[in-house]
Structure 1
Amino acid sequence: MDSHPNEQTAIDSLYRISSLVSDTEEPKEALRLILDEIISVLKPSSASISLINPDTKGLELEASYGLPEDWNNLELALGQGITGWTALHGRALIVGDVRQEPRYISVRPSVRSEMAVPMEDQGMVIGVVNVDSEQINAFDDSALKILTLLTNEATRVVSRLWMIKQLRTKANQLESLVDMSQQLVGELDRDELMKTLTRQARQLMDCHSSALFLLGGDGRELQLHSFVNASGMVDETLTLSLEDSALAASIHRRKQIEIHDLAFTEENDFHRIIRREGLVSMLASPIIFGEEVIGVIIAYTDQSHRFNNDEKNVFTTLAGVGAIAIQNARHYSRIFASEESLRRNEKLTTLGMLAAEIAHEIRNPLTVIKLLFDSLDLQFPNGDPRHTDIQVIGEKLNQLEEIVERVLSFGRTREGMHTRHDLSGLINDTLKLVRLKLHQQKIDIQFSAPAKRILVDVNKGQILQVMLNLVLNATQAMPDGGRIEIRADADASAAHLTIADNGSGIPEAIQADIFESFLTDRPDGTGLGLSISKRILRDHRGNIELSHSSPAGSTFHLWLPLSKL
């Protein structure tokens, strides 16, 4: 072969290699094209480009020419063979006769000479370029200079392409994180949320499998909640003692941990799954909200792998998003419970008000009966059974009067618990109670607090009950979603509140009587909500009215006296 390549040919190849940055996006494809250029300049009988695997620290063949097919999966350790020696020491090497070189590993029996140049990026060897010849002393210093020049340019190109690919990967990961965050925050079922988080961890990390463990109430155990592999969700039930698991470090130190070889670390019940799935390395991030450790999310690989900083950062971010989503689901669950409790309280309040109303209605006739009975002045001899009957009747009338008075006194006590509140604050408190229901029914709330505070002296619980009843009535008129608009203002003497919806409206036939007790057009309604609301507002020296209602929606207007400053 010609050991003195044409300089113009080398320059042309150098230019084509440098152009690969804009001609291709894949580093692996660029390596193949670079090797083609090296072959065209130096015309070796065989050639290869090998890169150092950061996980195994071995040299893996990335592109080759003229080598046997069984060498495609060859992995050399650093220092092994001419290629390994060049990678280990970071120095170029020419071997004139490989038969006299003890470091040489035979690739093809016909090879007689070899030349190797390290690929260095920012002072670090990342790979080696090799060329072989079937002639003795086929390469000289001139050929080495050209190969070094081409290799340096090739390294620069490949490094740029790797950087571009990493940036593109980061952009995709960021986009995925945003999408995942929206999906997680929108998931309200806590159990399904954690399964979704586990699936997304595997997808984001592009790993063999992922798992989510929850920390037990006593803080001593981890319970496997979800395990996902390529086939989907795996049904596994497992509880680990923190004392027997490497995950304890992540929980106790509240830091991410990385394990390269699980086989020599985990010796508990989870080892069964490790062997079955062929798991080798893992990255575990604690799921922390505030000061509370909720659990740990884990990414598993089926090959030895060292997670880079980008992978660690994106996994930490996912764990943080998951913690917020889990906490949101907890809050939503509590809101559900609060709403149910409010409904029960509403029923109890309804019952109490009905009892008070009945007691009030009973007291008048009872007073008349007692007066008339006393005026009869019935006297019977002590031995007459009727004498005992008269005593019993008198005692029972007194007992009934005491019961009525207790019921009325109880009602008056609750009604007297008035404190000063800002009307906007009462509205916001009401909306907090129903925000989950509004979210689920896709109902948009429009409320802007007025510029000035509107102060009223009210029983907060009762006024919240009125507002809650009006908002819930509006939601029931909009089963397929809609809009509720709330407006608050004041004049010289009263605070005004308007609640409008774009629901189906109230049937015209019952509009005039909607504040009457037990009137309802819903199968599951009691017909007491608006009646009680009107009674509460009247007890507060205010009132409520239906401004208008049509198939396009309904509007209620209520008012309360302003606080006397």
Structure 2
Amino acid sequence: MAKDGKTREGRLLEAIREVTEGRSLQETLARLLSEALAGVGGELGWIAVVESEGMRVKAVQGASALSPGSLIPFGKGLTGAAYAAGRPYYAPDVSLEKHYWKVSGEVRSEYLVPLTASGETIGILNVESGRVDGFSEDDREYVAALAGLASNAVALARRFEDVSGDLETATLSLAERVHALEAMSEAVRAISGSLDLDTVIRIIIERARDVLGADEAHLLLRGEDGGFALHTSTSLSRGAEVNIEQGVTGWVVRNRKPLCVPDVSLDERYVTWREGTRSELAVPLMDAGELTGVLNFESSRLGAFSAFHEELAETFAGHVAVALKNAALFTGLENARRDLALTEGLRVASEVAADIIHYVGNKAGALPQTLRLLADMLRGRLPADDENLALNLIDLAVKASGEILSIKADVLDTAKPLNPEPVEVAPLVREAASELGGVNVSLNGMSDVKVLGDRHALLRLFANAFDNAMKALAGTPQPRIHISWKQSGGEVDVEIRDNGRGFPEDLLAGGLIPRFGKSGGSSGMGLWLSERIAARMGGRLFIGNVSGGGAYVRVRLPAVTCDSQR
């Protein structure tokens, strides 16, 4: 008999009927707890269900510091002991229990029964009494039977939640996949609708985030020199050179296959690019087996990218690689067409200019001597002030005619046949730099580096470059020129770097043509002539500004190697 006079069998059957009536989990557990306390004469009790952070109280009866929603840590009190052991725990005198956690001043004995399902503890049913040894063996068996009903109720509710959650997730996942596929189709149509490289890159950046639902997307493109330029929709500079030897992207570059990181905090390969990133996905761009770039996606959500997203990103990356290749080919053809037109125009202009220079040069050849004779004739025949003015004007005319003759010599030099031979760089540079004065000149390079070229033409090339640097240093405090050279494979780079005023932006954007010059001097043809000399020897000339002030001229020439000397 129960302590209220009803048979326990009858009360248990009644509890079973109520459990199967379709009540909510909260109502069911509250009903079972009430029955447990009434059946064994307990004054206080609660039922808690296991969650990720601890055990969440679902039902409470009696005066307690606990309430529905309270969280009991896993290791707390006798509850923790019962949970850890996975079996009932009876404390006939709680004052003797070192792990006892006091939530009511009237408790003398306590009985805890784990709720289990499939061998896993999913909760705890607890009954307490104000009497020492307040629960007999029969009482504990009855509470255990009710705990079994509570276990079934919790397990059933969880299965229902799992099925409902799976159904909701499946529905949501299907909708997300449809949206992602539609976004990718729209993006592919957009990037395929243009052959302008800059436009294609911009569209890729704008659409990439939508395809995968990412917070940020980055496109890294490999350049001819093997480096990577970063294009992104964030505040990072578009087209900026970046070092990607490390990080998720670096791993993709080395292994040439996708990498999905659901939690970047747990992956040692991750390197922070953007604060707040929780997950990352990167896929390679491949063209004929060669890696041409990387598409990178970041999200502030954990596990934001699934296997579906990885497959989708790979498909999108394939379209991106093709679109970029087509745009690059078209852009290259357009640039070649413009360059051809410019080259033809320059060829015609150069021929005309050469004829004019040759004609003017011939006429100017006798000018210096004639002007000097005129100066001698005027000396002593004019008032002092008039004589000084006349002599100064004649001096300026002599210098101008000298420059005309120098330009003529430079232009004609570039047309002379070359005599290519192995030339040591170190003594060549030192000879060309020997005329530099009034500046701090430093040299740095290996002594055994040789280039294949015409020594006389090379001296003219470097003399023009040094003259350009000297003019740029005019008015610069503590002027410096640093000359360095190094060999890399079959090429030698000689760089002249100064701390002067730098190249004008329009010159850097438009390239070297005869009418431009860094220094703003009288002819502005020095670097253009140097570029022509380098090209005739199979080399190239590069110009640029230095961060922090100054400029550089870099001459790249064919190196003399063991193979080239055979």
- Measured against the shorter chain, the TM-score band is 0.3 to 0.5
TM-score, normalised relative to structure 2: 0.43
Whichever of the two has the greater Rg, that structure is 2
TM-score, normalised relative to structure 1: 0.43
Higher RCO (CA < 8 A, seq sep 6+) = 1
